[in-house]
Amino acid sequence: MQKHWLNISFYFLIALTIINCANRGSIGGGPKDVTPPEIVKTEPANYSTNFNANEIRIYFNEYIKIKNLQKQLIISPPMNNQPEVTPLGSASKYITIKIYDTLKPNTTYAFNFGNSIVDNNEENPFTYYKYVFSTGDYIDSLTVKGSVKDALTRTTDPFISVNLYEVDSTYTDSIIYKQKPKYVTNTLDSTTNFTIENLKAGTYRLIAVLDNNSNNLFDQKTDKIGFYEDFITVPDTSANYELQLFKEDLDYKAFKPRLVAGEKIAFPYQGDYTKTQIELLSKVTDSFNYRIVKEQEADTLNYYYSPKLNNDSLVFKVTNTKIIDTFSVKLKDNLKDSLNLKGQPINTIALTQNFKLKANIPISKVSKNKITIIDQDSTNIDFTTSVDSILNQLDIAFDKKENSQYNIKILPEAVIDYFENTNDTLNFNLRTPNPENLGDARVLLQNATYPVIVQLVNEKSEVKYEKYSTKPEPVDFYYLTPGKYYVRVIFDENKNGKYDTGDFLRKIQPERVSYAKDIQDIRVGWSNVIDFILN
Protein backbone atom coordinates (compact mmCIF):
# COMPACT_ATOMS: atom_id res chain seq x y z
CA MET A 1 0.00 0.00 0.00
CA GLN A 2 2.80 2.36 0.93
CA LYS A 3 4.52 1.64 -2.39
CA HIS A 4 1.26 2.45 -4.22
CA TRP A 5 1.00 5.89 -2.57
CA LEU A 6 4.64 6.60 -3.35
CA ASN A 7 3.97 5.94 -7.05
CA ILE A 8 0.94 8.27 -6.99
CA SER A 9 2.99 11.02 -5.31
CA PHE A 10 5.78 10.61 -7.84
CA TYR A 11 3.45 11.01 -10.85
CA PHE A 12 1.70 13.96 -9.21
CA LEU A 13 5.00 15.79 -8.75
CA ILE A 14 5.93 15.18 -12.41
CA ALA A 15 2.55 16.53 -13.61
CA LEU A 16 2.89 19.60 -11.39
CA THR A 17 6.36 20.28 -12.73
CA ILE A 18 5.11 20.07 -16.34
CA ILE A 19 2.22 22.46 -15.59
CA ASN A 20 4.56 24.98 -13.94
CA CYS A 21 6.95 24.82 -16.87
CA ALA A 22 4.07 25.35 -19.29
CA ASN A 23 2.86 28.34 -17.31
CA ARG A 24 6.32 29.82 -17.24
CA GLY A 25 6.64 29.55 -21.04
CA SER A 26 3.13 30.72 -21.88
CA ILE A 27 2.81 33.70 -24.27
CA GLY A 28 -0.68 34.47 -23.03
CA GLY A 29 0.42 35.84 -19.68
CA GLY A 30 -1.53 39.11 -19.86
CA PRO A 31 -3.01 41.81 -22.12
CA LYS A 32 -0.88 43.16 -24.95
CA ASP A 33 0.79 46.51 -24.32
CA VAL A 34 -0.91 49.09 -26.59
CA THR A 35 0.20 52.22 -24.74
CA PRO A 36 2.63 54.47 -26.62
CA PRO A 37 5.67 55.86 -24.81
CA GLU A 38 5.41 59.18 -22.99
CA ILE A 39 7.85 62.09 -22.76
CA VAL A 40 8.94 62.90 -19.22
CA LYS A 41 11.15 65.92 -20.01
CA THR A 42 13.17 67.66 -22.74
CA GLU A 43 16.46 69.56 -22.44
CA PRO A 44 16.20 72.38 -23.49
CA ALA A 45 12.43 72.57 -23.00
CA ASN A 46 10.19 72.20 -26.03
CA TYR A 47 9.10 75.54 -27.52
CA SER A 48 12.14 77.32 -26.06
CA THR A 49 12.98 80.83 -27.26
CA ASN A 50 16.42 82.44 -27.59
CA PHE A 51 17.71 78.93 -28.25
CA ASN A 52 21.52 78.60 -28.45
CA ALA A 53 22.21 74.95 -27.56
CA ASN A 54 23.94 72.46 -29.84
CA GLU A 55 22.42 69.35 -28.29
CA ILE A 56 18.82 68.37 -27.48
CA ARG A 57 17.69 65.45 -25.33
CA ILE A 58 14.14 64.07 -25.24
CA TYR A 59 13.51 61.65 -22.32
CA PHE A 60 10.81 58.93 -22.27
CA ASN A 61 9.17 56.80 -19.57
CA GLU A 62 10.30 53.55 -21.27
CA TYR A 63 12.79 52.25 -23.79
CA ILE A 64 12.13 53.50 -27.31
CA LYS A 65 13.68 53.10 -30.75
CA ILE A 66 13.56 55.06 -34.00
CA LYS A 67 12.27 53.62 -37.29
CA ASN A 68 12.45 54.96 -40.86
CA LEU A 69 13.99 58.20 -39.68
CA GLN A 70 15.17 59.23 -43.15
CA LYS A 71 11.58 59.30 -44.46
CA GLN A 72 9.78 60.33 -41.29
CA LEU A 73 11.89 63.14 -39.83
CA ILE A 74 11.15 66.58 -41.30
CA ILE A 75 13.30 69.52 -40.22
CA SER A 76 11.90 72.94 -41.09
CA PRO A 77 13.63 75.08 -42.22
CA PRO A 78 16.05 72.48 -43.61
CA MET A 79 19.63 72.57 -42.33
CA ASN A 80 22.68 72.55 -44.59
CA ASN A 81 24.52 70.23 -42.21
CA GLN A 82 22.21 67.44 -41.09
CA PRO A 83 21.97 66.96 -37.32
CA GLU A 84 22.91 63.63 -35.78
CA VAL A 85 19.93 61.81 -34.22
CA THR A 86 20.46 58.78 -31.95
CA PRO A 87 19.72 55.99 -31.14
CA LEU A 88 19.60 54.28 -34.53
CA GLY A 89 19.03 50.52 -34.51
CA SER A 90 19.09 50.20 -30.72
CA ALA A 91 16.87 51.00 -27.74
CA SER A 92 17.26 53.92 -25.36
CA LYS A 93 15.22 55.95 -22.87
CA TYR A 94 16.12 59.21 -24.61
CA ILE A 95 16.70 60.69 -28.07
CA THR A 96 19.74 62.87 -28.63
CA ILE A 97 19.86 65.51 -31.39
CA LYS A 98 23.30 67.01 -32.06
CA ILE A 99 23.18 70.19 -34.14
CA TYR A 100 26.14 70.89 -36.42
CA ASP A 101 24.62 73.72 -38.46
CA THR A 102 24.87 77.45 -37.79
CA LEU A 103 21.33 78.40 -36.84
CA LYS A 104 19.75 81.45 -38.44
CA PRO A 105 18.85 84.36 -36.14
CA ASN A 106 15.21 85.05 -35.23
CA THR A 107 14.08 81.80 -36.82
CA THR A 108 11.65 79.15 -35.60
CA TYR A 109 12.86 75.57 -36.18
CA ALA A 110 10.69 72.45 -36.00
CA PHE A 111 11.75 68.78 -35.81
CA ASN A 112 8.71 66.68 -36.79
CA PHE A 113 9.35 62.98 -36.12
CA GLY A 114 6.22 61.69 -37.86
CA ASN A 115 5.67 58.05 -36.82
CA SER A 116 9.34 57.22 -36.31
CA ILE A 117 9.33 56.97 -32.48
CA VAL A 118 8.04 53.61 -31.17
CA ASP A 119 8.38 51.71 -27.90
CA ASN A 120 10.93 48.91 -27.83
CA ASN A 121 8.60 45.97 -27.10
CA GLU A 122 5.36 46.30 -29.10
CA GLU A 123 6.45 49.21 -31.37
CA ASN A 124 3.51 51.38 -30.32
CA PRO A 125 4.15 54.71 -32.08
CA PHE A 126 4.44 58.08 -30.38
CA THR A 127 2.82 59.79 -33.36
CA TYR A 128 3.68 63.13 -34.91
CA TYR A 129 5.91 64.37 -32.11
CA LYS A 130 7.33 67.80 -32.86
CA TYR A 131 10.18 69.58 -31.11
CA VAL A 132 10.13 73.34 -31.71
CA PHE A 133 12.45 76.15 -30.73
CA SER A 134 13.22 79.71 -31.80
CA THR A 135 16.54 81.52 -31.96
CA GLY A 136 14.57 84.75 -31.42
CA ASP A 137 12.23 86.09 -28.77
CA TYR A 138 9.06 84.30 -29.92
CA ILE A 139 7.78 81.18 -31.68
CA ASP A 140 6.28 81.75 -35.17
CA SER A 141 2.79 80.25 -35.18
CA LEU A 142 1.20 80.76 -38.62
CA THR A 143 0.17 77.81 -40.83
CA VAL A 144 -0.50 76.85 -44.46
CA LYS A 145 -2.82 73.94 -45.22
CA GLY A 146 -3.80 72.03 -48.33
CA SER A 147 -3.71 68.72 -50.19
CA VAL A 148 -1.73 67.03 -52.95
CA LYS A 149 -3.01 64.67 -55.63
CA ASP A 150 -1.36 63.05 -58.63
CA ALA A 151 -2.44 64.75 -61.84
CA LEU A 152 -2.54 61.57 -63.94
CA THR A 153 -2.67 58.45 -61.77
CA ARG A 154 -5.56 57.33 -59.59
CA THR A 155 -3.50 57.19 -56.40
CA THR A 156 -0.91 59.59 -55.04
CA ASP A 157 2.58 58.62 -53.87
CA PRO A 158 3.30 58.79 -50.12
CA PHE A 159 5.88 61.09 -48.55
CA ILE A 160 5.35 64.11 -50.80
CA SER A 161 7.47 67.07 -49.67
CA VAL A 162 5.60 70.38 -49.54
CA ASN A 163 7.92 73.39 -49.62
CA LEU A 164 7.64 77.13 -49.10
CA TYR A 165 10.19 79.48 -50.69
CA GLU A 166 10.29 83.02 -49.36
CA VAL A 167 9.66 85.59 -52.09
CA ASP A 168 12.09 88.45 -51.51
CA SER A 169 14.44 90.54 -53.65
CA THR A 170 16.65 87.50 -54.36
CA TYR A 171 13.85 85.12 -55.39
CA THR A 172 13.81 83.50 -58.83
CA ASP A 173 11.89 80.42 -59.97
CA SER A 174 15.16 78.55 -60.49
CA ILE A 175 15.66 78.54 -56.72
CA ILE A 176 13.87 75.16 -56.50
CA TYR A 177 16.83 73.53 -58.34
CA LYS A 178 19.56 75.17 -56.26
CA GLN A 179 18.48 76.04 -52.72
CA LYS A 180 16.56 74.36 -49.94
CA PRO A 181 13.16 75.82 -49.09
CA LYS A 182 12.46 78.18 -46.23
CA TYR A 183 9.91 75.75 -44.77
CA VAL A 184 9.11 72.11 -45.49
CA THR A 185 6.68 69.40 -44.44
CA ASN A 186 5.38 66.21 -46.05
CA THR A 187 2.20 64.20 -46.51
CA LEU A 188 3.59 61.09 -44.79
CA ASP A 189 2.05 57.76 -45.82
CA SER A 190 -1.57 57.87 -44.69
CA THR A 191 -3.04 61.03 -46.21
CA THR A 192 -2.45 63.48 -49.03
CA ASN A 193 -3.24 66.47 -46.79
CA PHE A 194 -0.47 68.70 -45.46
CA THR A 195 0.02 71.40 -42.85
CA ILE A 196 3.11 73.62 -42.70
CA GLU A 197 3.35 75.12 -39.21
CA ASN A 198 5.43 77.64 -37.29
CA LEU A 199 5.60 80.09 -40.18
CA LYS A 200 6.25 83.80 -40.07
CA ALA A 201 4.15 86.26 -42.08
CA GLY A 202 5.29 86.84 -45.64
CA THR A 203 4.93 86.02 -49.32
CA TYR A 204 5.88 82.54 -50.53
CA ARG A 205 6.00 80.18 -53.50
CA LEU A 206 4.23 76.90 -52.66
CA ILE A 207 5.70 73.74 -54.24
CA ALA A 208 5.08 69.99 -53.83
CA VAL A 209 7.89 67.56 -54.77
CA LEU A 210 8.16 63.79 -54.80
CA ASP A 211 11.74 64.12 -53.60
CA ASN A 212 13.32 60.80 -54.60
CA ASN A 213 16.81 62.06 -53.73
CA SER A 214 15.75 63.34 -50.27
CA ASN A 215 17.79 66.52 -50.77
CA ASN A 216 15.00 69.16 -50.59
CA LEU A 217 15.74 70.18 -54.20
CA PHE A 218 13.82 69.54 -57.41
CA ASP A 219 15.51 67.19 -59.87
CA GLN A 220 13.54 67.13 -63.13
CA LYS A 221 14.95 63.75 -64.12
CA THR A 222 13.84 61.84 -61.01
CA ASP A 223 11.18 63.89 -59.21
CA LYS A 224 7.55 64.84 -59.68
CA ILE A 225 6.46 68.42 -58.97
CA GLY A 226 3.27 70.38 -58.28
CA PHE A 227 2.85 74.11 -57.76
CA TYR A 228 0.33 76.79 -56.90
CA GLU A 229 0.10 79.23 -59.81
CA ASP A 230 0.42 82.46 -57.79
CA PHE A 231 2.50 83.51 -54.84
CA ILE A 232 0.69 82.94 -51.54
CA THR A 233 0.42 85.34 -48.63
CA VAL A 234 0.72 84.21 -45.01
CA PRO A 235 -1.47 84.60 -43.03
CA ASP A 236 -4.56 83.72 -45.08
CA THR A 237 -6.85 81.79 -42.78
CA SER A 238 -9.39 80.96 -45.50
CA ALA A 239 -6.98 79.34 -47.96
CA ASN A 240 -6.80 75.58 -48.51
CA TYR A 241 -4.39 74.96 -51.37
CA GLU A 242 -4.73 72.06 -53.81
CA LEU A 243 -1.61 70.98 -55.69
CA GLN A 244 -1.42 68.61 -58.68
CA LEU A 245 1.68 66.44 -58.79
CA PHE A 246 3.11 65.60 -62.23
CA LYS A 247 6.25 64.41 -64.00
CA GLU A 248 7.67 67.08 -66.28
CA ASP A 249 8.88 66.21 -69.75
CA LEU A 250 12.66 66.37 -69.61
CA ASP A 251 14.30 69.45 -71.09
CA TYR A 252 16.16 68.63 -74.29
CA LYS A 253 19.82 67.80 -73.91
CA ALA A 254 22.27 66.21 -76.34
CA PHE A 255 24.98 63.82 -75.13
CA LYS A 256 28.27 62.94 -76.74
CA PRO A 257 27.77 60.67 -79.80
CA ARG A 258 29.92 57.63 -80.51
CA LEU A 259 30.52 55.06 -83.23
CA VAL A 260 28.63 51.89 -82.22
CA ALA A 261 29.01 49.80 -85.40
CA GLY A 262 30.38 50.09 -88.90
CA GLU A 263 29.05 53.33 -90.45
CA LYS A 264 26.63 53.82 -87.56
CA ILE A 265 26.90 56.66 -85.04
CA ALA A 266 24.60 56.87 -82.01
CA PHE A 267 23.47 60.34 -80.87
CA PRO A 268 21.93 59.96 -77.38
CA TYR A 269 19.65 62.66 -76.00
CA GLN A 270 16.99 63.41 -73.42
CA GLY A 271 13.73 65.28 -73.94
CA ASP A 272 11.96 66.06 -77.22
CA TYR A 273 14.02 64.93 -80.22
CA THR A 274 11.56 65.93 -82.95
CA LYS A 275 13.22 69.28 -83.71
CA THR A 276 16.76 67.89 -83.70
CA GLN A 277 18.95 68.44 -86.75
CA ILE A 278 22.32 66.75 -87.23
CA GLU A 279 24.72 68.47 -89.64
CA LEU A 280 28.10 67.03 -90.70
CA LEU A 281 30.80 69.73 -90.68
CA SER A 282 33.71 67.55 -91.85
CA LYS A 283 34.65 67.40 -95.52
CA VAL A 284 33.60 64.16 -97.23
CA THR A 285 33.29 62.87 -100.80
CA ASP A 286 30.45 63.95 -103.11
CA SER A 287 29.01 60.43 -102.96
CA PHE A 288 28.48 60.68 -99.19
CA ASN A 289 24.90 60.17 -97.98
CA TYR A 290 23.23 59.40 -94.67
CA ARG A 291 20.00 58.32 -92.94
CA ILE A 292 18.78 59.10 -89.43
CA VAL A 293 16.38 56.82 -87.56
CA LYS A 294 15.26 56.74 -83.95
CA GLU A 295 16.33 53.83 -81.77
CA GLN A 296 13.10 52.03 -80.92
CA GLU A 297 13.96 51.12 -77.33
CA ALA A 298 16.17 54.06 -76.31
CA ASP A 299 16.46 57.85 -76.47
CA THR A 300 18.98 57.72 -79.30
CA LEU A 301 19.12 58.90 -82.91
CA ASN A 302 21.16 56.54 -85.09
CA TYR A 303 23.10 58.17 -87.92
CA TYR A 304 23.93 55.75 -90.75
CA TYR A 305 26.28 56.86 -93.50
CA SER A 306 27.79 55.59 -96.74
CA PRO A 307 30.35 54.98 -98.15
CA LYS A 308 32.92 53.98 -95.56
CA LEU A 309 35.29 56.90 -94.82
CA ASN A 310 39.04 57.08 -94.25
CA ASN A 311 38.70 60.04 -91.87
CA ASP A 312 40.10 59.70 -88.37
CA SER A 313 37.05 61.48 -87.02
CA LEU A 314 33.90 63.39 -87.99
CA VAL A 315 32.66 66.69 -86.58
CA PHE A 316 28.91 67.29 -86.22
CA LYS A 317 26.70 70.23 -85.28
CA VAL A 318 23.57 69.14 -83.40
CA THR A 319 20.77 71.73 -83.23
CA ASN A 320 17.48 71.66 -81.36
CA THR A 321 15.60 75.01 -81.47
CA LYS A 322 18.09 77.41 -79.80
CA ILE A 323 20.40 74.72 -78.39
CA ILE A 324 23.51 74.08 -80.49
CA ASP A 325 26.20 71.51 -79.69
CA THR A 326 29.34 70.54 -81.59
CA PHE A 327 30.72 67.03 -81.25
CA SER A 328 33.69 65.11 -82.63
CA VAL A 329 33.32 61.37 -83.22
CA LYS A 330 36.37 59.16 -83.62
CA LEU A 331 36.03 56.54 -86.37
CA LYS A 332 37.11 52.91 -86.08
CA ASP A 333 37.10 49.88 -88.35
CA ASN A 334 33.97 48.34 -86.81
CA LEU A 335 31.79 45.61 -88.30
CA LYS A 336 28.39 46.60 -89.63
CA ASP A 337 25.19 45.36 -88.03
CA SER A 338 23.29 42.52 -89.69
CA LEU A 339 19.70 43.13 -90.75
CA ASN A 340 17.22 41.99 -88.10
CA LEU A 341 13.44 42.16 -88.61
CA LYS A 342 10.93 41.70 -85.78
CA GLY A 343 7.18 41.35 -86.22
CA GLN A 344 4.61 42.91 -83.86
CA PRO A 345 2.21 41.86 -82.51
CA ILE A 346 2.89 38.16 -82.05
CA ASN A 347 0.23 35.42 -81.84
CA THR A 348 -2.88 37.62 -81.44
CA ILE A 349 -3.77 40.71 -83.47
CA ALA A 350 -6.73 43.03 -82.83
CA LEU A 351 -9.22 43.70 -85.62
CA THR A 352 -8.18 47.37 -85.75
CA GLN A 353 -4.46 46.72 -85.41
CA ASN A 354 -1.80 46.84 -88.15
CA PHE A 355 1.04 44.36 -88.34
CA LYS A 356 4.44 46.03 -87.96
CA LEU A 357 7.81 44.82 -89.15
CA LYS A 358 10.53 46.62 -87.22
CA ALA A 359 14.07 46.84 -88.62
CA ASN A 360 17.35 47.63 -86.90
CA ILE A 361 18.89 49.18 -90.07
CA PRO A 362 17.12 51.84 -92.18
CA ILE A 363 14.68 50.34 -94.69
CA SER A 364 15.54 51.46 -98.23
CA LYS A 365 13.16 49.40 -100.35
CA VAL A 366 10.07 47.21 -99.92
CA SER A 367 8.85 44.81 -102.61
CA LYS A 368 5.16 44.26 -101.90
CA ASN A 369 4.98 41.43 -104.43
CA LYS A 370 7.26 39.36 -102.17
CA ILE A 371 4.77 39.57 -99.28
CA THR A 372 1.62 37.43 -99.02
CA ILE A 373 -1.17 37.17 -96.46
CA ILE A 374 -3.30 34.01 -96.48
CA ASP A 375 -6.27 33.31 -94.21
CA GLN A 376 -7.33 29.96 -92.73
CA ASP A 377 -9.28 29.15 -95.92
CA SER A 378 -6.08 29.61 -98.01
CA THR A 379 -7.51 32.81 -99.49
CA ASN A 380 -5.09 35.61 -100.39
CA ILE A 381 -5.86 38.79 -98.46
CA ASP A 382 -5.33 42.26 -99.93
CA PHE A 383 -3.12 44.60 -97.93
CA THR A 384 -1.31 47.93 -98.08
CA THR A 385 2.19 48.81 -96.91
CA SER A 386 3.81 51.99 -95.66
CA VAL A 387 7.21 52.78 -94.15
CA ASP A 388 7.74 55.03 -91.12
CA SER A 389 11.19 56.41 -91.93
CA ILE A 390 11.78 57.86 -88.44
CA LEU A 391 10.77 54.81 -86.40
CA ASN A 392 12.10 52.57 -89.21
CA GLN A 393 9.22 50.13 -89.43
CA LEU A 394 7.04 48.65 -92.17
CA ASP A 395 3.30 48.83 -91.50
CA ILE A 396 1.11 46.16 -93.14
CA ALA A 397 -2.62 46.94 -93.01
CA PHE A 398 -5.34 44.45 -93.98
CA ASP A 399 -9.00 43.70 -93.18
CA LYS A 400 -9.52 41.01 -90.58
CA LYS A 401 -12.43 38.88 -89.41
CA GLU A 402 -13.31 37.73 -85.93
CA ASN A 403 -11.89 34.43 -84.67
CA SER A 404 -9.75 33.90 -87.78
CA GLN A 405 -6.18 32.88 -88.55
CA TYR A 406 -3.70 34.58 -90.87
CA ASN A 407 -0.26 33.71 -92.17
CA ILE A 408 2.03 36.55 -93.26
CA LYS A 409 4.90 35.29 -95.43
CA ILE A 410 7.80 37.55 -96.31
CA LEU A 411 10.09 36.18 -99.01
CA PRO A 412 13.80 37.01 -99.47
CA GLU A 413 14.47 40.51 -100.86
CA ALA A 414 11.07 41.78 -99.71
CA VAL A 415 12.98 44.26 -97.53
CA ILE A 416 16.31 45.79 -98.51
CA ASP A 417 18.16 47.93 -95.98
CA TYR A 418 20.43 50.95 -96.28
CA PHE A 419 23.53 48.76 -96.75
CA GLU A 420 21.84 46.58 -99.44
CA ASN A 421 21.28 43.68 -97.03
CA THR A 422 18.06 41.70 -97.39
CA ASN A 423 15.93 39.39 -95.30
CA ASP A 424 15.58 35.62 -95.19
CA THR A 425 12.15 34.02 -95.49
CA LEU A 426 9.93 35.02 -92.57
CA ASN A 427 6.58 33.56 -91.47
CA PHE A 428 4.21 35.08 -88.92
CA ASN A 429 1.06 33.26 -87.77
CA LEU A 430 -1.60 35.48 -86.23
CA ARG A 431 -5.08 34.97 -84.82
CA THR A 432 -7.87 37.46 -84.23
CA PRO A 433 -9.83 37.22 -80.98
CA ASN A 434 -13.05 35.30 -80.54
CA PRO A 435 -15.67 37.86 -79.43
CA GLU A 436 -17.41 35.17 -77.37
CA ASN A 437 -14.40 35.27 -75.01
CA LEU A 438 -14.35 39.07 -74.74
CA GLY A 439 -16.53 41.90 -73.47
CA ASP A 440 -17.68 45.37 -74.60
CA ALA A 441 -18.19 48.71 -72.88
CA ARG A 442 -20.04 51.91 -73.78
CA VAL A 443 -19.06 55.12 -71.96
CA LEU A 444 -21.66 57.91 -71.78
CA LEU A 445 -20.08 61.23 -70.78
CA GLN A 446 -21.99 64.08 -69.19
CA ASN A 447 -20.69 67.67 -68.81
CA ALA A 448 -17.65 66.92 -71.02
CA THR A 449 -15.67 69.69 -72.72
CA TYR A 450 -14.46 68.33 -76.05
CA PRO A 451 -12.17 67.00 -77.38
CA VAL A 452 -11.43 64.30 -74.82
CA ILE A 453 -9.34 61.15 -74.63
CA VAL A 454 -11.31 58.31 -73.05
CA GLN A 455 -9.19 55.51 -71.62
CA LEU A 456 -9.67 52.21 -69.86
CA VAL A 457 -6.82 51.75 -67.39
CA ASN A 458 -5.93 48.99 -64.95
CA GLU A 459 -5.48 49.40 -61.20
CA LYS A 460 -1.91 50.63 -61.80
CA SER A 461 -3.25 53.40 -64.10
CA GLU A 462 -1.69 51.71 -67.16
CA VAL A 463 -3.59 52.41 -70.39
CA LYS A 464 -5.13 49.29 -71.93
CA TYR A 465 -7.66 50.83 -74.36
CA GLU A 466 -8.14 54.35 -75.67
CA LYS A 467 -10.59 56.34 -77.82
CA TYR A 468 -10.59 59.97 -78.97
CA SER A 469 -13.87 61.87 -79.03
CA THR A 470 -14.51 65.34 -80.46
CA LYS A 471 -18.26 65.67 -79.82
CA PRO A 472 -21.03 64.40 -77.53
CA GLU A 473 -21.47 60.77 -78.50
CA PRO A 474 -21.32 57.30 -76.96
CA VAL A 475 -17.72 56.08 -76.72
CA ASP A 476 -17.70 52.37 -77.55
CA PHE A 477 -14.98 49.87 -76.71
CA TYR A 478 -15.21 46.46 -78.39
CA TYR A 479 -13.32 43.18 -77.91
CA LEU A 480 -12.10 43.91 -74.41
CA THR A 481 -10.06 41.38 -72.49
CA PRO A 482 -12.05 40.48 -69.34
CA GLY A 483 -10.76 42.16 -66.22
CA LYS A 484 -11.16 45.18 -63.98
CA TYR A 485 -10.74 48.67 -65.46
CA TYR A 486 -11.12 52.29 -64.44
CA VAL A 487 -12.50 54.86 -66.89
CA ARG A 488 -10.18 57.86 -67.25
CA VAL A 489 -10.95 61.01 -69.24
CA ILE A 490 -8.25 63.46 -70.36
CA PHE A 491 -9.42 66.92 -71.44
CA ASP A 492 -7.31 67.58 -74.54
CA GLU A 493 -7.12 71.36 -74.21
CA ASN A 494 -4.60 71.91 -77.01
CA LYS A 495 -6.28 69.35 -79.30
CA ASN A 496 -3.09 67.44 -80.08
CA GLY A 497 -4.51 63.99 -79.36
CA LYS A 498 -2.33 63.20 -76.33
CA TYR A 499 -1.95 63.98 -72.64
CA ASP A 500 0.25 66.99 -71.93
CA THR A 501 1.99 67.28 -68.60
CA GLY A 502 2.83 70.53 -66.81
CA ASP A 503 5.89 72.77 -66.76
CA PHE A 504 6.87 74.70 -63.63
CA LEU A 505 9.13 77.34 -65.20
CA ARG A 506 6.54 78.11 -67.90
CA LYS A 507 3.74 78.06 -65.29
CA ILE A 508 1.76 75.44 -67.23
CA GLN A 509 -0.44 73.05 -65.28
CA PRO A 510 -1.00 69.51 -66.63
CA GLU A 511 -4.13 68.83 -68.66
CA ARG A 512 -7.17 67.99 -66.57
CA VAL A 513 -7.79 64.30 -65.84
CA SER A 514 -10.88 62.71 -64.30
CA TYR A 515 -11.50 59.15 -63.09
CA ALA A 516 -14.87 57.48 -62.82
CA LYS A 517 -15.53 56.60 -59.20
CA ASP A 518 -16.24 52.88 -59.56
CA ILE A 519 -14.06 50.18 -61.06
CA GLN A 520 -15.64 48.35 -64.00
CA ASP A 521 -15.70 44.56 -64.13
CA ILE A 522 -15.56 43.58 -67.82
CA ARG A 523 -16.84 39.99 -68.19
CA VAL A 524 -17.04 37.51 -71.01
CA GLY A 525 -20.00 38.23 -73.27
CA TRP A 526 -21.09 41.27 -71.27
CA SER A 527 -21.72 44.80 -72.54
CA ASN A 528 -21.12 47.38 -69.80
CA VAL A 529 -22.86 50.77 -70.01
CA ILE A 530 -20.95 53.34 -67.95
CA ASP A 531 -22.48 56.73 -67.07
CA PHE A 532 -19.68 59.15 -66.24
CA ILE A 533 -20.74 62.55 -64.89
CA LEU A 534 -17.79 64.93 -65.08
CA ASN A 535 -17.52 67.71 -62.53
> pLDDT digits over 180-191, tens only?
999 999 887 677
pLDDT of residue 85: 95
Q: For residues 185 and 277, state if they share a domain.
A: no
Distance of CA 390 to the CA centre of its chain: 27
Q: For residues 205 and 192, state if they share a domain.
A: yes
pLDDT of residue 29: 53
The residue that leads in pLDDT, 356 or 128, is: 356
| Residue 428 exposure: Cα atoms within 13 Å on the Cβ side | 20
Mean pLDDT, range 485-512, rounded to an integer:
97
Q: For residues 265 and 210, state if they share a domain.
A: no
Least confident of 17-21, 56-60, 133-137: 17-21
Domain termination site, one of 387, 404, 433: 433
pLDDT of residue 1: 45
In a domain, 183, yes or no: yes
In a domain, 12, yes or no: no
In a domain, 6, yes or no: no
Share of the chain above pLDDT 70, in %: 94
Under the banding of pLDDT at 50, 70 and 90, the label for residue 245 is very high
Number of domain units in the chain: 5
Is pLDDT of 254 > 80? yes
Provide the CATH number for the domain around residue 87: 2.60.40.1220
pLDDT of residue 30: 58
Instruction: State the DSSP H helix or E strand holding residue 82, giving kind and residue range, or none if neither.
Output: none
- Residue 438 in contact with residue 524, Cβ under 8 Å? yes
> pLDDT digits over 191-234, tens only?
799 999 999 999 999 999 999 988 899 999 999 999 999 999 99
Question: Model-level pTM?
Answer: 0.84
Mean pLDDT, range 454-463, rounded to an integer:
96
Instruction: Reply yes or no: is the peptide bond before residue 345 cis, omega within 30 of 0.
Output: yes
Instruction: State the DSSP H helix or E strand holding residue 328, giving kind and residue range, or none if neither.
Output: strand 323-330
Q: For residues 102 and 191, state if they share a domain.
A: no
Under the banding of pLDDT at 50, 70 and 90, the label for residue 136 is very high
Q: Give the three-class secondary structure for 528.
A: strand
In a domain, 73, yes or no: yes
Question: Helix, strand, coil proportions of the chain in percent (round to 5)?
Answer: 5, 45, 50
